[in-house]
Amino acid sequence: MAPFVTVNCAASADGKIALSNRRKVNLSNTLDLERLHILRAENDAILVGIETVLQDDPSLTIRNNSSSDNNLIRIVLDTKFRTPLNARVMNEESKTVIATGNNGFTSPKNNVEIISCGSNEVDLHLLMKKLSDMGVENLLVEGGAKVIWSFFREGLVDKFILFVSSKIIGGATTPTIAGGRGFDKESSLIQLKMEKVEEIGDGALITYTKK
């Protein structure tokens, strides 16, 4: 069975997820960060796109977790295998899967597995099948904009958790929650079901599921 996919994202009040120069910005407050690490611990794997790795250099581990056995599998969508060897996501703290195109890349490290999944970009349905075969039942997608768009476009998002901070970033080209091409027809829009709205400090946490 395909993994249950949760997308988690922290956005500004105007829907942006990074600074106008695409640099990382901390939009979550302390309470939301605590929630995020609990959410990570509830999943088997965590996934981001290569641009997030290059821009933010996240380690994608569970904070205060000293045992590497308890960390999740880290997955990077990276067609051309551009993930630097010294990126934090490649460190020994956990296993890392690089989902590439069909280019015959080989793994440079023991904790890194390469899986080929398509040509132009990673075929998410093929990836879901391969992750399922690896025993991944719950997958957490943390961005960035293009990756979140792709998961929505392919109808693969089971749950969408959005933290909306009380900050404004602005900028016409600043990354927003879902990037990519977007829909140009009202009939194509994805209708979600809003399950819950919670106040978390100075922000709002909205949980959506599939309609």
Ligand X SMILES: NC(=O)c1ccc[n+]([C@@H]2O[C@H](COP(=O)([O-])OP(=O)(O)OC[C@H]3O[C@@H](n4cnc5c(N)ncnc54)[C@H](OP(=O)(O)O)[C@@H]3O)[C@@H](O)[C@H]2O)c1
Rounded Cα–Cα distance for residues 114 and 104 (Å): 9
Residue 73 or 140: the one with the smaller Cβ distance to ligand X is 140
Please check whether residue 165 is in contact with residue 24, taking contact to mean a CB–CB distance below 8 angstroms.
no
Residue 49 or 187: the one with the smaller Cβ distance to ligand X is 49
Residue 94 or 165: the one with the smaller Cβ distance to ligand X is 165
Residue 93 or 142: the one with the smaller Cβ distance to ligand X is 142
Q: What is the 3-state secondary structure (H, E, C) of the chain?
A: CCCEEEEEEEECCCCECCCCCCCCCCCCCHHHHHHHHHHHHCCCEEEEEHHHHHHHCCCCCCCCCCCHHHCCEEEEECCCCCCCCCCHHHCCCCCEEEEECCCCCCCCCCCEEEEECCCCCCCHHHHHHHHHHCCCCEEEECCCHHHHHHHHHCCCCCEEEEEECCCCCCCCCCCECCCCCCCCCHHHCCCEEEEEEEEECCEEEEEEEEC
Q: Provide the minimum distance between the beta carbon of 67 and ligand X in the complex, in angstroms, as a whole number.
A: 25
Q: Provide the minimum distance between the beta carbon of 59 and ligand X in the complex, in angstroms, as a whole number.
A: 13
End-to-end alpha carbon distance in the chain: 20
Residue 45 or 48: the one with the smaller Cβ distance to ligand X is 48
Q: Provide the minimum distance between the beta carbon of 170 and ligand X in the complex, in angstroms, as a whole number.
A: 15
Q: Which of 128, 142, 140 is nearest to 51 (CA)?
A: 142
Q: Provide the minimum distance between the beta carbon of 92 and ligand X in the complex, in angstroms, as a whole number.
A: 23
Residue 23 or 187: the one with the smaller Cβ distance to ligand X is 23
Q: Provide the minimum distance between the beta carbon of 186 and ligand X in the complex, in angstroms, as a whole number.
A: 24
Q: Provide the minimum distance between the beta carbon of 22 and ligand X in the complex, in angstroms, as a whole number.
A: 4
Summarize as ranges the residues that interact with ligand X (CB under 6 A).
Answer: 9-10, 17-18, 22, 24, 27, 48-52, 55-56, 77-80, 82, 121-122, 124, 142-147, 150, 175, 179
